[in-house]
Amino acid sequence: MTEDSHSCCSSTPKTQPKKLPCPSHGGNCNEVALSTLNQHIKQPWELGFHDRRYFFCDDAACDVVYFADDGWQAGQGDVRTPVGQKDATGAATLCYCFGVTRRDVLADPAIKKYVMDQTKNKACACSTQNPSGLCCLKNFPK
Ligand SMILES: [Zn+2]
């Protein structure tokens, strides 16, 4: 484990992720590592090998989940689990590392403290478990 594998949880990331506008809704989206995409996309072996960069769309109203800088796109039907960032219901997964749903957090706000402690202990896996590749705490209600 390197320091960088947990930079998702750092409040001051060393490098800002690159951004590209979503081809569907037009908003800026963060670059995501291929290792993250491989954890979420159905049949990743069908992707083949490309010299492309991948981005994650977290806009709740947009059906695009991942897209690449060469026009490739994947929607919600192309990923293995529902994307919490695109689900406004209580069943939405907010933290993929510990399987926390929105309903869980609303019923017991102390769960957020648990997740914060776990991430401080580097016992989380946001960089691959969360489809965004970013810290799950970003998804929690303020
Ligand atoms: Zn989009």
Average pLDDT over residues 33-40: 95
Q: Is 125 helix (H, G, I), strand (E, B) or coil?
A: coil
Question: Is residue 141 over pLDDT 90?
Answer: no
pLDDT (tens digit, 9 = 90+) per residue, 42-59?
999 999 888 899 999 999
The residues, any chain, with a CB within 8 Å of residue 22's CB and separated by 6 or more, are 28, 29, 55, 57, 59, 62, 64, 67
Q: State the CATH number of the domain containing residue 74.
A: 2.20.25.270
CA of 29 from ligand 1 middle (Å) equals 8
- Residues forming beta bridges with residue 56, ordered by sequence position: 30, 66
pTM: 0.85
Give 132 Cα–ligand 1 centroid separation in angstroms.
13
Give distance in angstroms: CA of 131 to centre of ligand 1. 14
pLDDT of residue 1: 37
Could you list the residue range(s) of the whole structural domain that residue 107 is in? 3-139
11-15, 79-83, 109-113: segment of lowest average pLDDT:
11-15
The tally of domains found in the chain comes to 1
Percent of the chain with pLDDT over 70: 88
Whole-number Å distance, alpha carbon 121 to ligand 1 midpoint, is 33
What is the whole-number distance in angstroms between the Cα of residue 61 and the centre of ligand 1?
8
Does an H or E element contain 35, and which? helix 34-40
Q: How far is CA 62 from CA 58, 68, 83, in A?
A: 8, 16, 11
Residue 75, amino acid: G
* Confidence band, pLDDT 50/70/90 cuts, at residue 7: low
